[in-house]
Amino acid sequence: METTQPELQTQPDMQNQPGTETEKPTDWKRVALDILETLILAVVLYFGINAVSVRVRVDGYSMTPTLQNGEYILVNKLAYKVGTPARGDIVVFVYPANPQEDLIKRVIGLPGERIAIHNGKVTVNDVPLNEPYIAAAPLYDGEWVVTEGQLFVLGDNRNESKDSHQWGLLPLENVVGKAVLIYWPPPEWQIINHVKEVYAGQ
């Protein structure tokens, strides 16, 4: 009986020992430091990702069947800082007629080339293009010469697209970047396939 009473009395005293109290502030400091480090890392990643990419929403049907209305696209902003656009690239750009609006189209003509559209076929320097990605053959006709520092772009839904056949050539400086990934909605997630230069005769 005499040995149990001192033990019961000493247990509360152990909780009030100075060594135990000093651990609580230390734990809170560690948690606060971890949270701060996580926030700093998140901010760095956010600005780092935004420096090299941009996320855009497809509004409309000018790029069907390749891209669907409402899909979200990841765009590589560095693609043309270290390289140049190629035929078949899908690019996001500032609309020349309205700088407040961004459009997404496919590159068809490069500087120095002559583009012609007749009888539902697109030709580059008189050579027909093989275009398996379009919704339907164009119902319009025209000819354009792509000057230095310009691109000729068309929507894959040729007859429902506001593009170079209506408003003319696209200045290279207006290009924001190259579309690389459909990331939303999840069932549509995929790497965007940029068609290489293919001519009908090949």
- List active site positions: 62, 105
Report the amino acid identity of residue 16. Answer: N
Complete DSSP assignment for 132-171: TT-SS-----EEEE--TTEEEEE-SSGGG--SHHHH-PEE
Nearest-angstrom CA–CA distance, 98 and 136: 27
Closest alpha carbon to 62 in 159, 132, 152, 127: 159
Question: Residue written as tokens 């020992």?
Answer: 17
* Whether the Cβ atoms of residue 166 and residue 137 lie closer than 8 Å to each other: no
Residues composing the chain:
202
Bridge-based pairing of strands 102-109 and 90-94 is antiparallel
Joined together, the tokens standing for residue 179 give: 């579309």
